[in-house]
Structure 1
Amino acid sequence: MGTNMSRSIDYGNLMHDAMRSLIRQVLSDVAENGLPGAHHFFITFDTMHPEVELADWLSDRFPEDMTVVMQHWFEDLDVTEDGFAVTLNFGDNPERMYIPFDAIRTFVDPSVEFGLRFETQDDDDDEEDGVADIEDAPARPVREAREADKGKSAPKDAEVVSLDSFRK
Structure 2
Amino acid sequence: MSREPLRYDRMVENALRGVVREALTEVQEDGLPGEHHFYVTFRTDGAGVKIPDYLREQYPGEMTIVLQYQFYGLEVTPQGFSATLSFGGVHERLVIPFAAITGFADPSVNFGLKFQGADEEASGEDEADGEAAAEDDTPAEESRTGTVVALDAFRKK
Report TM bin, short chain: 0.7 to 0.9
SS of alignment partner, residue 16 of structure 1: helix
Q: Which structure's residues are more often helix, by fraction?
A: 1
User: How far off is 1:92 after superposition?
Assistant: 1.1
**Equivalent in 23, 27, 34 of residue 24 of structure 2:** 27
Aligned to 1:156: none
Aligned to 1:14: 11
Aligned to 2:50: 53
- Listed as ranges, the gaps of 5+ residues in structure 1 are 144-168
Bigger CA radius of gyration: 1
Are 2:110 and 1:93 equivalent residues in the alignment?
A: no
SS of alignment partner, residue 42 of structure 1: strand
- Listed as ranges, the gaps of 5+ residues in structure 2 are 128-141
**Equivalent in 121, 125, 134 of residue 151 of structure 2:** 134
Residue identity matched to 1:15: V
Are 2:37 and 1:44 equivalent residues in the alignment?
A: no
Q: Name the count of aligned residue pairs.
A: 136
User: How far off is 1:77 after superposition?
Assistant: 0.3
Q: TM-score, normalised by structure 2?
A: 0.78
Q: TM-score, normalised by structure 1?
A: 0.73
Provide the rounded CA distance (Å) in 1 between the counterparts of 2:45 and 2:79: 17
User: How far off is 1:44 after superposition?
Assistant: 0.4
Aligned to 2:134: none
CA RMSD of aligned residues (A): 2.0
Provide the rounded CA distance (Å) in 1 between the counterparts of 2:101 and 2:2: 33
* Aligned structure 1 segments of 4 or more residues deviating by more than 6 angstroms: none
Provide the rounded CA distance (Å) in 1 between the counterparts of 2:144 and 2:49: 26
User: How far off is 1:127 after superposition?
Assistant: 3.7
Provide the rounded CA distance (Å) in 2 between the counterparts of 1:48 and 1:127: 19
Among the aligned pairs, what percent are the same residue? 40
User: How far off is 1:133 after superposition?
Assistant: 2.7
SS of alignment partner, residue 93 of structure 2: strand
